Structures are given as structure tokens and as C-alpha cells.
Amino acid sequence: MSEPTEIRSKSVKAKVRRTVLKAGGTLLISLFSPLSALASQILAVRVWPADEYTRVTLENDANLKTNHFIIKNPERLVVDVEGIELGPTLKSLVAKIQPNDPYIKQVRVGQNRPNVVRLVFDLKEEVNPQVFTLAPVGEYQHRLVFDLYPVNPPDPIAALIEKGQWSIDAPTDTLPPPVAEIKPPYAEPKADRAPQVNRMLTIALDPGHGGEDPGAVGRGGSYEKNIVLAIAKRLKAKLEQHPNMRVMLTRDGDYFVPLHVRVQKARKVQADLFVSIHADAFVQPTANGSSVFALSEKGASSTAARWLANKENAADLIGGANIKNHDKQLASVLLDLSTTAQINDSLKLGKAVLNEIGGINRLHKGAVEQAGFAVLKAPDIPSILIETAFISNPAEEARLNDDAYQDRMADAVSQGIRKYFAKNPPLAKGKMM
């Protein structure tokens, strides 16, 4: 009788052992086997090609670690992204590289090893890559950003000359009066006016937002960045109809430009004016009208102006500025040297433009407002920011998308700029930094 008992005892022990092993194996599998369950999820991939640089963005649900290096002959950028598995969203990056991309020939993606995906960018020329991450902000989750800048960037003026958008020599004539009622003519000197100067007038037009930063979004789905670029291009064409006016756009396509870089661009071409173009939004769809803003050193002229400046100044966070790459010295100059003279000239320019805009749209405020807009802080350039209308208002959103309204808005701003110059002829300029 003892033998069956012993057999039963061994059977029970074996069963217990199998149960323990099975449980342990299940635990090990749950910890180590399903690596894909632990991997971060790529939510979207976006590519923003431009003459200045190409940006590639991977949006994901967690912060990613990367390692990147350059391989020569031919030029390639290799990026290893840790913590992800290759999936259809990341594979779609291959098809997003267009033949006209200035810097990327093609991209290859593959699973380099478990939990590590390798991206290989075949390049058209030597680049200076900037790879950085962005914390969640606005509608975006974590972003991994690759900015590919040319090692030898073109001089901005030389690039415009090459495109036929920039004349080298200033004309000998002066600007004609913008409207018949301005007398005496612009070319006629006056005792209380600055000396007459025959030279080119350079205007920097700054279409707000772009690329990763759509700006305000209308209820009908319109993006501020697209509307203001269209208006800026119309305004550029109108201004350049006059023989001694030339225009530089801080962006001429759908890509992101940091706020301080917009100011830098204006200073590099020695701009006489800086005009930033936007389309406002507010929580209430009933808000309407156009506005013009200048810089303030002493605080905002109203609560609404302060709110708007804070919103516009957040563009770098949403658009994805590489904070490590900011020129700290220049930022300090821009913050410290904004002068009273610049603000006074900006207010005169703003008033001239506001008066003209009032002829085509209701004014949200009847006077030029002031606040600490980062994009208006060039110390030596009269600068204004125009809110053309409220994109959050359905009626004004429709108007902003209308070709005729865009043309009238561009015409009004053009007239305002010319009236400003008629009363405030520019002085001769020496070389700026």
C-alpha cells in the first residue's frame, strides 16, 4: 500500500513544480518577450522642406532617445531612435520625401536591432544636423525633431538677387506720393522734415507662424499660417510695383521660423520697416475687427493686448524652436536696446496703416495698441504687427479666405506704408551689424 502513496506524493510534487515553472515562465515572458508592448508609439511623421532648411518631425507618446552621426561619400545622416519598433506610421516617412526637397534625396527606415529603429537620410549636400526633442505643448505630444541646415548657407541678399527678387542698385528717382491728397510731394524737401534721400526702401514682411505652428485655426478649418502668407505675397507684389521699394519675406513657404530669426533676417537686409501679419483668434466667435500693434517697454496698453502678445510669443514653443541654438547675445541686445525712437516711429507707421485698414474692415480698437511682442524687438527698425481680422469669427474667416478681401487688405497696408514714408522720409543708412 505504501507504493501508491509514494507515487501520489511524487505526482503531486511534479504538478506543483510544473505550476511554479509555468508561472515563472509566464512572468519572464510578460517582462521580456513582448518588447513591442513596451515600445513608444509613433503618432505622426511630418516633413517641412524649405530653402533655408528641411525639418523632419516624429510625434510620439513618450520622450525618445537618439544617437546620430554623419557618413561621408556619399553624404548620409544616420539616426538611431531607441524605444520604438518599426510600424506603418514610421514607414510612411519614406513617401513623404519629395523630389524637390533641397537637402534630402531619400530616407530609408529599418529595424536595426530590437527596440531600435534606424533612419538613414541620403543627402543632396553636406548638412549641419540639429536633433532635439520637444515637450508636449498645445495639440502636440512629444516630438523628436531633425533640422537639416546647409553647412554653407547662402547669404540672404545674394539668394534674393539670384532669384531675381532683389535689385542691386537703387533707382535715382524718389517715391511718388501714395495718394493725390499728400502735398507737397514726397520728393520735395521741407524744413521740418528729414533730408531727402534717393535710395532703395527695404521692407521686411513677416507672415506669422508656419510649419509645425499653424497659428489660429478657424471654425471652418482655415489655418492662420496659410492666410497670412497669401496676404503677405499680395502685399509684396503691390509694394514692389514702386521702383524704389523692395521686399523681403521672413518665410515664403510653409515652414517654421523662430521669432528671433525673423528679426535677424530683417536686420541682415537692413530693413527700413518690419511688418508682421497675423489673423487673430479669441475664445468667443463674436470677436471681430482688425488691429495694429507696436512694441511696448512699459507693459501692455490693454489686457487683451497683453493676452495676445503672450499667445504670439508662444509661437516658438508650438513651432518647435531649438532653444539650445538661440543666440543669447543677440537675444539680450533685442531685449535691452529697444529704443523710444523706434517705438515712436512704429506708432506713426501703425497709425498710418490702421487708418487705411479702417476703410475695408471694422477696427477692433480705434488706436494702435502696444504690448511686449518678441517679434517687434528690433532696436533699429520701426516694427508693427497687424491682426488682419478674427479667424475665429465665422464671417471674418470667410472674408480672410476671399481673394478680393485679401487683395483689399494688402492694398490698404501698402497705402499705409507709403503714407508713412511720405511723412517720414528715411535717412541715409550706414552698414548695420
Q: What is the CATH number of the domain that holds 59?
A: 2.60.40.3500
Per residue in 10-44, pLDDT (tens digit) is 554 555 455 544 544 444 443 444 444 466 899 99
Out of 125, 150, 175, a domain closes at 150
Same domain, 160 and 105: no
Which has more confidence, 341 or 176?
A: 341
Q: Considering the domain boundaries, does residue 12 fall inside one?
A: no
Same domain, 131 and 166: no
Residue 138, class by beta-carbon neighbours within 10 Å (0-12 exposed, 13-18 middle, 19+ buried)? Answer: exposed
Q: Considering the domain boundaries, does residue 71 fall inside one?
A: yes
Query: 50 lies in which domain range?
Result: 37-150
Out of 150, 172, 190, a domain closes at 150
Q: Considering the domain boundaries, does residue 46 fall inside one?
A: yes
On the question of pLDDT at 432 being above 70, the answer is no
Among 27-31, 228-232, 367-371, top mean pLDDT goes to 228-232
pLDDT on residue 168: 58
Same domain, 357 and 222: yes
Mean pLDDT over each residue of the chain, to the nearest integer:
83
pLDDT on residue 332: 46
Backbone angles phi, psi at 410, to 5 degrees: -60, -40
Per-residue pLDDT band at 292 (split at 50, 70, 90) = very high
Same domain, 143 and 160: no
Nearest to 82 by CA among 38, 134, 43: 38
3-state SS string for 318-336: HHCCCHHHCCHHHHHHHHH
Number of structural domains (the chain) is: 2
Q: Considering the domain boundaries, does residue 429 fall inside one?
A: no
Same domain, 195 and 344: yes
Which residue shows C-alpha cell 515562465?
25
pLDDT on residue 277: 98
Which has more confidence, 72 or 432?
A: 72
On the question of pLDDT at 336 being above 70, the answer is no
Average pLDDT over residues 85-105: 95
Same domain, 167 and 130: no
Q: Considering the domain boundaries, does residue 126 fall inside one?
A: yes
Residues 128 and 53: beta-carbon distance below 8 Å:
no
Same domain, 308 and 277: yes
pLDDT on residue 307: 84
Per-residue pLDDT band at 161 (split at 50, 70, 90) = confident
Q: Considering the domain boundaries, does residue 330 fall inside one?
A: yes
Same domain, 131 and 162: no
Same domain, 59 and 188: no
The number of beta carbons lying within 10 Å of the beta carbon of residue 242 is 18
Same domain, 141 and 172: no
pLDDT on residue 184: 33
Q: What percent of the chain has pLDDT over 90?
A: 63
Per residue in 261-287, pLDDT (tens digit) is 999 999 999 999 999 999 988 888 899
CATH number of domain containing 340: 3.40.630.40
Q: Considering the domain boundaries, does residue 10 fall inside one?
A: no
Q: Considering the domain boundaries, does residue 163 fall inside one?
A: yes
CA distances from 137 to 38, 254, 306, 317, 425 (A): 24, 20, 20, 7, 44
Per-residue pLDDT band at 425 (split at 50, 70, 90) = confident
Out of 150, 183, 207, a domain closes at 150
On the question of pLDDT at 181 being above 80, the answer is no
On the question of pLDDT at 114 being above 60, the answer is yes
Same domain, 336 and 253: yes
Same domain, 140 and 163: no
